[in-house]
A and B are shown apart, each in its own frame.
Chain A
């Protein structure tokens, strides 16, 4: 564990140094790009990128103004530099975007198999996503684009992301604001040596507006960034069973989401290894502050999460093994340390008032606990939770939803191994603070669970677990002095204690 953490620290330094100093700056206006917000600059900007790439590289610099464009491809040795007040704005017309044949998705800015690329400067990338998505709906309704329109919206492949980088090496994205894509915002897929530094994301224009998706990448740093997204804010994915996402550092970021704050999954075919998340702040988030999911046959191991502050977020921690698209592979979720966490869970919907609020679902249930839930045969292993404090609102009502703690009741909780993983998926759970099932060698060390009002449920329920270690677990619940706050079923403690 310590070994990879050290390696990751070196990685930050190394990536910092590997950012090249470009030879030359080219003003976009000199190629004829217009900052009037109405001229479509696609051809002009693409030609400028091609020219710079073929002539030794450099920065294409956008002075203040609004530059309208459709799909662009960044080429090797080119950085788009957006000055303060410059905005690269996506055309409202879906026909101005390319669905890349290799990737299968549409994007405003692509880069495929390029080296040494970047987007820098304090300016804005605005995907104009709501308009693009609704215009796409019209085209589909007219029969111009084939799409099932399930959920009354175009398929994700028919909605452009803001940025999609695939199989690129040495990527720098620094400083700017990315806003309003029609789909995910910023996808980094099978790239190596990626530095994302001091960016701001405002991605709430439409469904599936993730903040950042890191897919099967190696050596990634995300730091000092702010992400506000209607879907997951920082999301690690593994699309390819033959790949693995590894050596990733997230430091000093603040996130807000109408889904989850920091998420490993949902698609997790290859897996995740060697991640270090430090100093993360999660606010006004609808689902989990931290969720790690191994549901598609991938491997998850060596994850360190150190320093989380979570305010007004409906769930703090959710670890899950499932068997969704695993095929004949076995998911693993192993060696996770989560420490120094402070979280406050609200009673009311935490993302109320944000655009594209998270959907109300899995009712009826009272406020859900943090959970670690494996499968009977596929068990979550070696998790350390230390220095954790979670404050719950209380106020549960057994007449509204009830799950008791008898052996039969606990064992009647459905396994749902093929279901989409979400902290709320089991509806009512039998604990208000922490629920653990099918997990081995789980350590609670200095874990404080507080609840503001009394709850009909105990604080902790552990069912089917081996080698559980509970050290310094403190529970505060008003007016319930003699209540049994920890219920264990079919569980062995570590060292036979």
Chain B
């Protein structure tokens, strides 16, 4: 594990060095682009990119003003540089956007198999997602766009993202603000050496507004950035069972979400390896601050999460193994192991943490009282080697058994459904039998200096562990009002590690 940390540190330095210094600046107005907020500049900007890439590369510079855009493709050795006050704004008309046949999705800015590309500056990219998404729904309804309109919306591949880079090397995204896509916001898919620094994300305009999606990439730095997203904010995915997402550093980032803060998954076919996440602050977040999900036959290993502050967030930690796409996985086992989570302080509220934000997270899996943090594997596919150290979580307590109840008898514990095929979410099991931490089908789990506080009495114990080998609980602190003699730790079918 130590080795991983060192390797990653070297890699950051290397990424820095590899950022190219470009030869030349080209003002986009020189190509005839108009910043009037009306003229559709797609063809002009594409012409400019093609010219620059064919002539030794350089920066295409946007002065302040609003540039209306459809889809463009960024090419090798070209950086889009958005000066302060410059805005690339979607036309809002879905027909101005391309669905890339190779990727299968729509985007405002694509790059496909290009090297040394970037988007920099203090300007903004605004996907006008709400308008565009409703426009596509309207086209679907009129029948000239084929879409099942399930959930009363156009599906993802008919809604453009802001940025989709696929199979690119040396990608630099710095300084810019990314706003309101119709779908995910920015996707880096099978890219090598991606450097994201000091960006601001404000994407709450429509469903699936993730902040940033890193898919099967090798060598990624995300730092000093701020995210406010309706869906997951920093999300690692693995779409391809033959790939793996690896060597990733996240540091000094903060944000909020109406889904999860830092998420590994949901799609996790190949897997995730060698991640170091330090110094993140998550607030006003509907689901989990941190969630690691291995539900599609992938491998998740060597994950270090060090330094998390989580305020007003519905759930703190949720680790899950599942078996979602059994037929597609050829029986490949999902693996989740070697995880360290340390130095975490978290406060869980009683009321909905993302209340009042646009596109609030959906109320679901009712009835249940406030859910605990959880580590839940499957009977045969077990979560292994997880260390939780220096953790403090403050819960509201107040679980009411008349509203929802799950007891701690052997029968009751073992009646909790396994749900191997279900979409993984901290709330999926509805009522869980603990208010603080719930562990099941997990081996070699260490709790070291973990403090769990309930502000009000709860009918449940603080910790329930069911079916675990080599569990280690050391320096545990549990506080709950008026619960002096209450048994706060319930173990069922558990073996403890020798101290």
Indicate yes or no for A touching B, C-beta below 8 A.
yes
Q: Chain A interface (Cβ within 8 Å of chain B)?
A: 138, 141-142
> What is the distance, in angstroms, from B147's C-beta to the closest C-beta of chain A?
16
A141 to B143, CA, bound (A): 12
Chain B interface extent, by class: under 10
Query: Which residues of chain A come closer than 8 Å to B138, judged between CB atoms?
Result: 138
Contacts of A141 on B, CB cut-off 8 Å? 142
A254 to chain B, nearest CB (A): 25
Q: Which 3 A-B pairs have the closest CB atoms?
A: A138-B138, A141-B142, A142-B141
User: Which of chain A's residues have a CB closer than 8 A to the CB of B141?
Assistant: 142
Which B-chain residue is minimally distant from A38 (CB atoms)? Answer: B358
Q: Across the interface, which residues of B come within 8 angstroms of A138, CB to CB? A: 138
Q: Complex Cα distance A138/B142, Å?
A: 9
A142 to B142, CA, bound (A): 8
With A and B bound together, what is the CA distance between A142 and B140 in angstroms? 12
| Chain B residues, CB < 8 A from A142 | 141
In the complex, which residues 85-138 of chain B have their Cβ closer than 8 Å to any Cβ of chain A? 138
3 A-B interface contacts by CB (under 8 A): A138-B138, A141-B142, A142-B141
**Alpha-carbon distance between A138 and B141 when the two chains are bound, in angstroms:** 10
The docked-state distance in angstroms from the alpha carbon of A141 to that of B142 is 8
Report A141 CB to chain B, min CB distance, Å.
Answer: 7
Which A residue sits closest to B142, measured CB to CB? A141
Least CB separation from A131: chain B residue: B131
Report the minimal beta-carbon distance from A396 to chain B, rounded to whole angstroms. Answer: 35
In B122-167, the 8 Å CB interface with A consists of 138, 141-142
Q: Which residue of A lies closest to B38 (CB)?
A: A355
**Bound form: Cα–Cα A138–B140 in Å:** 12
A453 and B460 CA atoms in complex are apart in Å by 97
Kindly state the separation between the CA atoms of A302 and B311 in the bound complex, as whole angstroms: 77
| A142 nearest CB neighbor, chain B only | B141
Complex Cα gap A141–B144 (Å): 13
- In the assembled complex, the Cα of A35 lies from the Cα of B138 at a distance in Å of 29
- B142 proximity list for chain A (CB < 8 A): 141
A220: shortest Cβ distance to chain B, in Å? Answer: 37
Within the complex, what minimum Cβ distance (angstroms) separates A152 from chain B? Answer: 14
Min C-beta distance of A288 to chain B, whole Å: 29
Q: How far, in whole Å, are A142 and B141 apart by their CA atoms in the complex?
A: 8
B355 to chain A, nearest CB (A): 17
Nearest A residue to B138 via CB reads A138
Name the residue of chain B whose CB is nearest to the CB of A355.
B38
Q: Nearest CB to that of A138 among chain B residues?
A: B138
In the bound complex, what is the Cα–Cα distance between A412 and B355 (angstroms)? 76
- Tell me the bound Cα distance from A215 to B272 in angstroms: 73
Which residue of chain A is the closest to B358 with respect to CB atoms?
A38
Min Cβ gap A212→B in Å is: 27
B193 CB, nearest partner CB in chain A, Å:
41
Complex Cα distance, B138 from A141, in Å, reads 10
Q: How far is the CA of A430 from the CA of B109 in the complex (A)?
A: 58
CA distance A138 to B135 in the complex (A): 10
Closest B residue by C-beta to A141: B142
Cα–Cα distance between A141 and B141 once the two chains are bound (Å) = 10
Q: How far is the CA of A138 from the CA of B139 in the complex (A)?
A: 10
- Rounded to whole angstroms, the CA-CA distance of A360 and B138 in the bound complex is 32
CB distance from A176 to the nearest CB of B (A): 24
Contact with A along B291-334 (1 / 0, CB 8 A): 00000000000000000000000000000000000000000000
- Report the separation of the CA atoms of residues A142 and B143 in the bound assembly, to the nearest whole angstrom: 11
Q: How far is the CB of B380 from chain A (nearest CB, A)?
A: 51
Nearest CB of B to A112, in Å: 34
Give bound CA distance, A482 to B141, whole Å.
69
A142 to B138, CA, bound (A): 10
Give Cα distance in the complex from A460 to B305, angstroms: 91
Q: How far is the CB of B377 from chain A (nearest CB, A)?
A: 45
Distance in Å from the Cβ of B230 to the closest Cβ of chain A? 16
Task: Give the shortest distance, in Å, between B439 (CB) and chain A (any CB).
Answer: 44
Q: Chain A nearest CB: distance from B188 CB in Å?
A: 33
Report Cα–Cα, A42/B348, bound state, in Å.
38
- Least CB distance from A303 to B in Å reads 40
A163 to B142 alpha-carbon distance, docked (Å): 33
B95 to nearest A CB, angstroms? 14
- Bound-state CA distance A233–B484 (Å) is 82
Nearest Cβ distance between residue A204 and chain B, in whole angstroms?
A: 13
Interchain nearest-CB distance for B176 vs A (Å): 25
Cβ distance A37 to chain B, nearest Cβ, rounded Å: 13
Give complex CA distance A383, B28 in Å: 58
